[in-house]
């Protein structure tokens, strides 16, 4: 193929691939351990599981230096504004991993004090089930997130995508109004 016959999107496609590769290889997580799942999250950084081979060797204490939030454990109503504030302070683009059944859906704590899913507070990219999930499961979820990040379009604003998802969730009818689900 000659230089003149090159496809018009060739440079853009290659730029997106390189940017995706760079983003996935340089994620810095902000630690947000709230319960027993945090112990398993900390274990992934140990020498046995070695999270540093994925470029994530340091969990950041400052949200301004992080682009991945791992919410590990149950989120209380009192802690919900703090989770949102940390998320808002993180650099763009940013991703959220919900670790454990308590963070994903409230788990066994079906009461007024616990948020029934961190997705009510921040948009979640990956849900990791388990009570608590093993470090191997967290590493697998991070690899799945890396696949998502690597294939994301470069020039598409992530904030617009998240806003569209949040709008759709707000406009969706509650489950009790859907036909035949609850009796």
Residue with tokens 């090159």: 6
Residue 111 C-alpha from the chain's centroid: 25
Confirm if 37 and 99 have CB atoms less than 8 A apart. yes
Distance separating alpha carbons of residues 176 and 183, to the nearest angstrom: 8
37 has binding-site annotation? yes
131 has binding-site annotation? yes
**Per-residue b or e along 28-46, where b marks 16 or more CB atoms closer than 10 Å to that residue's CB:** bbbbbbbbebbebbebbbe
Distance separating alpha carbons of residues 96 and 106, to the nearest angstrom: 17
Tokens representing 12 are 């853009």
Distance separating alpha carbons of residues 181 and 123, to the nearest angstrom: 25
CA distances from 107 to 26, 66, 133, 135 (A): 31, 27, 13, 19
Residues annotated in the binding site, as ranges?
A: 36-37, 102, 131
Residues annotated in the binding site for [4Fe-4S] cluster, as ranges?
A: 36-37, 102, 131
């Amino acid at each position: 193929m000659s230089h003149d016959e090159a496809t018009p999107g060739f440079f853009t496609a290659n730029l997106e691939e390189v940017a995706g590769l760079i983003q996935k290889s340089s994620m810095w997580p902000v630690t947000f351990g709230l319960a027993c799942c945090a112990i398993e999250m900390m274990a992934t950084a140990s020498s046995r599981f070695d999270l540093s081979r994925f470029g994530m060797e340091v969990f950041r204490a400052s949200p301004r230096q992080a682009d991945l939030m791992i919410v590990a454990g149950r989120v209380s109503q009192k802690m919900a504004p703090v989770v949102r504030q940390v998320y808002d302070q993180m650099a763009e683009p940013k991703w959220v991993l919900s670790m454990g059944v308590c963070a994903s859906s409230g788990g066994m704590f079906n009461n007024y004090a616990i948020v029934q899913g961190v997705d009510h507070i921040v948009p979640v990219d990956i849900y990791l089930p388990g009570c608590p999930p093993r470090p191997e499961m967290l590493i697998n979820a991070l690899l799945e997130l890396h696949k998502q990040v690597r294939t994301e379009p470069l020039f598409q604003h992530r904030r617009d995508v998240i806003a569209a998802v949040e709008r759709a969730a707000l406009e969706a009818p509650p489950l009790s109004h859907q036909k035949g689900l609850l009796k």
